[in-house]
């Protein structure tokens, strides 16, 4: 076998060269510190299932969802990651996710390689993988991705004609149905083959109608081998409809559920790889029609998963995994694709692929995407309050918190069964009207009072980057009935000042805040959000200087620094900051306008006019600059 591999590499040097670069690129993105929010409640529930040997049917993991029906469609995935965590800690969970993704891409590669081993085959794998980078997460959806890849490979290779094939499909579907709510994609894929065979039978052509009929029956029956029976199907519709316009306020605010072609999605790198596969697939479909080389069943699967990808940003992966082998099937019939005229370009292809790998390895991908992670193993040291559990034990905290929803899963993971969060990320278990009230409470004192009373809230746990923190930190800072007793680069923890149970928990004065130097800029960025909320100007200036040292969004950071300096009366410092902005971007309209204002106040009229005229040349539609310029000119003419 090894000699055959060496022989293949020797005879297919370009294929091998590009394949190695693609593997490096995929690995550079796939191995990243865990930053996912949901994995923590999956782990907590998985532990609970293993502890009690029972699957929960009612929620007991959050205060808001307590006693509500809970359709735990992820229970098998939760058990698998809990076992991984028990064996190897959070690195075990990460390794489990990596293994599933490597298996998924292996079957995509197998499906592509059925049609060709030309140099562009690994390119298609690369496109499919990078389309998926936003979902390189330890979530139950990775089981759906794996099953889609396996089902497509088996169906494409007609591995559904024997009893052993039916058994394999049945086992795979059982695992799928007990791991993730999108298991209905399995029957859909099998149904596409049955539909085509049915059409061929009516046309009088050769078909495998009996075989595909048995296959669909087996797959459908397997979807019922779950603790909840037929109701699992109705739950799947909930998963598909979560991004709908009429879903709860909370769900609509989640970035991964935003529109596939919306601004948020298009600002991500994965979208453009998805778009490339989409355009290429459209070309392939039209060409297949034109040259009468059309494959109906796989086209129906492609079409169905494309429509599924339109339901939200997170679902673009469903299309990407299928598009790669579908495009390969089309390109394999083209004789011009391997033209020797492009040999030099072909051999240069590994360079941009490896540069893309460096984008992740250097950390720039995560910084530009504002993700608190890097290449490496374990959970990110940023974003999660790793020391909070020990603090809560020291003060013997045993009451209910009002927590940022984003940190609820981690809080559950650290403290269950002793403590539970108010909410976590399992949107479907909450009654829409109640979760909307909880979500809006941070901007409505009346609603907050009712929430505190209803759930007997004794503390606030606020993630610095959360909406709840942005709304509540300024209020808590001014409210003498609450005291800050814990904070780090990820969260702050506030207790009622007069609660006798926690009188020993020392208050931390905001003006005396101190932390050890951060390991990465992410921590300082998180801290900036907290310091802004508690109005700590001096400490905030110091923290902004630390962010500037990393050259992270310098224009934005300098703008924030200038605003603080101006508010503090340090106009000279503000002017210096605005001029520093121009060193990064000489056409920054905000900095030019503020410098014009400062120049005017110092009596430097000509300089102010010159700066405002510069804005007008850059952007003639800048109304504010035009008004300011007219004001100065009118004053000068009097």
Tokens at residue 447, please?
């609603």
Q: Which residues contact 524 (CB under 8 A, 6 or more apart)?
A: 489, 518, 543, 546, 547, 550
What's the mean per-residue pLDDT of the chain? 89
Tokens at residue 185, please?
């994609």
Q: How far apart are CA 367 and CA 312, in angstroms?
A: 24
Residue ranges of the domains in the chain?
Answer: 99-344, 383-508
Identify the band that residue 504 occupies on the pLDDT scale cut at 50, 70 and 90.
Answer: confident
Measured over the CA atoms of residue 548, residue 372, residue 523 and residue 494, the dihedral's sign is: positive
DSSP state of 404: -
Q: How far apart are CA 400 and CA 455, in angstroms?
A: 7
**Would you say 464 and 407 are in contact if contact means Cβ atoms under 8 Å apart?**
no
Q: Which residues contact 51 (CB under 8 A, 6 or more apart)?
A: none
* Strand positions, DSSP E, 52-97: none
Tokens at residue 622, please?
């800048």
CA atoms within 13 A on the CB side of 178: 18
pLDDT at 346: 81
Average the pLDDT over 26-39 and give the result.
96
Identify the band that residue 342 occupies on the pLDDT scale cut at 50, 70 and 90.
Answer: low
pLDDT at 239: 63
Q: How far apart are CA 309 and CA 363, in angstroms?
A: 28
Using alpha carbons only, what angle is made at residue 136 by residues 135 and 137, rounded to the nearest 5 degrees?
Answer: 85
Identify the band that residue 244 occupies on the pLDDT scale cut at 50, 70 and 90.
Answer: very low
Q: Using one digit for the tens of pLDDT, what is the confidence trace for 367-422?
A: 999 899 999 999 998 889 999 999 999 999 999 999 999 999 999 999 999 999 99
Measured over the CA atoms of residue 619, residue 621, residue 626 and residue 628, the dihedral's sign is: negative
Place of tokens 């797959």: 219
DSSP string over 377-392 = SSB-SSSS-TTHHHHH
Q: Using one digit for the tens of pLDDT, what is the confidence trace for 255-275?
A: 566 788 888 888 899 999 999
Q: How far apart are CA 431 and CA 49, in angstroms?
A: 24
Q: How far apart are CA 580 and CA 555, in angstroms?
A: 8
Average the pLDDT over 538-547 and give the result.
91
DSSP-derived pairing of the beta strands 457-463 and 491-496:
antiparallel
């Amino acid at each position: 076998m090894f000699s055959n591999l060496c022989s293949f590499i020797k005879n297919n040097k370009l294929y091998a060269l590009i394949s190695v670069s693609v593997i490096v690129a995929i690995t550079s993105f796939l191995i990243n510190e865990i930053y996912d929010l949901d994995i923590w409640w999956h782990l907590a529930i998985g532990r609970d299932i293993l502890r009690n040997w029972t699957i929960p049917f009612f929620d007991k993991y959050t205060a808001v969802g307590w006693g509500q029906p809970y359709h735990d469609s992820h229970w098998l995935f939760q058990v698998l990651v809990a076992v991984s965590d028990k064996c190897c800690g959070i690195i075990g969970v990460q390794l489990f996710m990596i293994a599933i993704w490597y298996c998924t891409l292996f079957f995509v590669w197998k499906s592509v390689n059925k049609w060709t081993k030309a140099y562009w085959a690994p390119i298609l794998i690369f496109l499919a993988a990078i389309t998926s980078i936003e979902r390189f997460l330890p979530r139950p959806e990775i089981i759906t991705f794996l099953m889609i890849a396996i089902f497509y490979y088996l169906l494409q290779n007609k591995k559904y004609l024997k009893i052993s094939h039916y058994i394999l499909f049945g086992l795979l579907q059982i695992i799928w149905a007990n791991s993730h709510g999108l298991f209905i994609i399995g029957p859909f894929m099998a149904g596409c083959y049955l539909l085509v065979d049915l059409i061929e039978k009516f046309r009088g052509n050769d078909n495998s109608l009996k075989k595909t009929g048995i296959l669909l029956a087996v797959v459908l029956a397997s979807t019922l081998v779950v603790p909840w029976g037929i109701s699992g199907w109705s739950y799947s519709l909930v998963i598909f409809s979560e991004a709908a316009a009429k879903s709860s306020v909370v769900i609509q605010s989640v970035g991964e559920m935003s529109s596939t072609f919306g601004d948020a999605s298009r600002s991500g790198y994965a979208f453009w790889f998805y778009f490339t596969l989409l355009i290429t697939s459209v070309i392939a479909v039209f060409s297949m029609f034109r040259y009468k080389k059309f494959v109906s069943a796989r086209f129906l699967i492609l079409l169905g998963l494309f429509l599924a990808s339109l339901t939200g940003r997170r679902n673009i992966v469903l299309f990407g995994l299928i598009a790669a082998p579908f495009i390969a099937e089309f390109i394999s019939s083209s004789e011009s694709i391997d033209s020797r005229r492009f040999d030099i370009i072909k051999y240069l292809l590994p360079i941009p692929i490896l540069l893309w790998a460096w984008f992740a390895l250097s950390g720039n991908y995560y910084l530009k995407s504002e993700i608190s992670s890097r290449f490496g193993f374990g959970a990110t040291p940023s974003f999660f309050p790793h020391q909070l559990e020990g603090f809560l034990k020291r003060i013997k905290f045993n009451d209910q918190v009002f927590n940022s929803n984003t940190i609820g899963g981690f809080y559950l993971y650290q403290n269950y069964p002793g403590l539970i969060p108010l909410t976590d990320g399992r949107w479907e278990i909450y009654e829409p009207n109640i979760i909307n009230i909880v979500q809006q409470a941070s901007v409505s004192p009346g609603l907050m009072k009712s929430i505190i009373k209803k759930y007997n809230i004794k503390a606030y746990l606020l993630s610095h980057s959360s909406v709840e923190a942005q709304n509540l930190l300024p209020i808590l800072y001014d409210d003498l009935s609450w005291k800050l007793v814990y904070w780090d680069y990820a969260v702050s923890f506030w207790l009622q000042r007069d609660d006798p149970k926690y009188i020993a928990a020392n208050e931390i004065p905001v003006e005396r805040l101190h932390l050890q130097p951060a390991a990465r800029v992410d921590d300082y960025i998180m801290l900036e959000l907290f310091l802004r909320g508690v109005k700590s100007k001096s400490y905030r200036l110091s923290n902004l200087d630390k962010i500037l040292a990393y050259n992270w969004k310098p224009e934005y950071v300098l703008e924030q620094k200038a605003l603080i300096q101006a508010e503090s009366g340090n106009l000279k410092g503000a002017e210096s900051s605005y001029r520093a902005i121009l060193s990064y971007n000489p056409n920054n309209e905000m900095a030019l306008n503020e410098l014009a204002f400062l120049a005017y106040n110092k009596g430097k009229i000509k300089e102010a006019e010159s700066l405002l005229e510069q804005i007008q040349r850059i952007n003639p539609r800048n109304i504010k600059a035009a008004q300011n310029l007219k004001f100065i000119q009118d004053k000068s003419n009097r």
